[in-house]
Amino acid sequence: MNIEHEIVPARPEEAPQIVEYLNQLAREAEYVCIDDKGGFWLTPEQEAEVIRETKANGNGVILIVKDKPTDDILGSGTAFSRGRRAAHVFDIGVSVASRAQRRGIGRELLEALKDEAQKLGAEKLWLEVCAPNEAAIRLYEKAGFKQEGRAIKAFRTKQGDLIDEILMGYFYQ
């Protein structure tokens, strides 16, 4: 089943909806970085400021996937330059709501992030993904990312188990 959606830059006034989406994602998903209270670590006001600063500084991009009929957020993606001597490297993050997964939305969002980061001067993209998250690893590999390393017991699951993270990179040709 196809979901009618659009990928757009996040706007500060959408921060409450973005934080709500990320908190829901943290409750649903096993492999999402959350705070010790089980939620997203920024308030809507802080998220709005991050969106404003990102746009003003031109050092990154924040994209959201919106369901066209409902205006609900179905996914989000970020790409931020590491700055200074690593300014050519952008850290990225991609998430898609469980109800919108396996419909090509993650692939579309990842490609949009790659395009936007390149426009901002990225020569390399970098991400970390939990080793058991095989679907995400396959998505990244299909998009041209290569495994570059492994951080042993770097992530704590909701159950308290320590699992590895796979470090992946993408070089623009």
Q: For 82-92, how does the pLDDT look when each residue is reduced to its tens digit (9 = 90+)? A: 999 999 999 99
Residue 48 burial class via C-beta count within 10 angstroms: exposed 0-12, middle 13-18, buried 19 and up: buried
| pLDDT for the residue numbered 73 | 96
pLDDT value of position 28: 81
**At residue 35, does pLDDT exceed 60?**
no
Angle among Cα 33, 117, 35 to the nearest 5 degrees reads: 10
Cβ count within 10 A of residue 17: 18
Please compute the mean of the pLDDT values over residues 161-169 and round it to a whole number: 94
pLDDT above 80 (res 97): yes
Q: What is the Rg, in whole angstroms, of the alpha carbon atoms belonging to the chain?
A: 16
Amino acid identity for residue 89 in this structure: V
Q: What is the 3-state secondary structure (H, E, C) of 52-108?
A: HHHHHHCCEEEEEEEECCCCCEEEEEEEEECCHHHCCEEEEEEEECHHHCCCCHHHH
Ranking 40-44, 119-123, 146-150 by mean pLDDT, the lowest is 40-44
| pTM attached to this predicted model | 0.92
Q: Which domains does the chain have, with CATH numbers?
A: 5-127 (3.40.630.30)
- Token readout for 148 is 């570059």
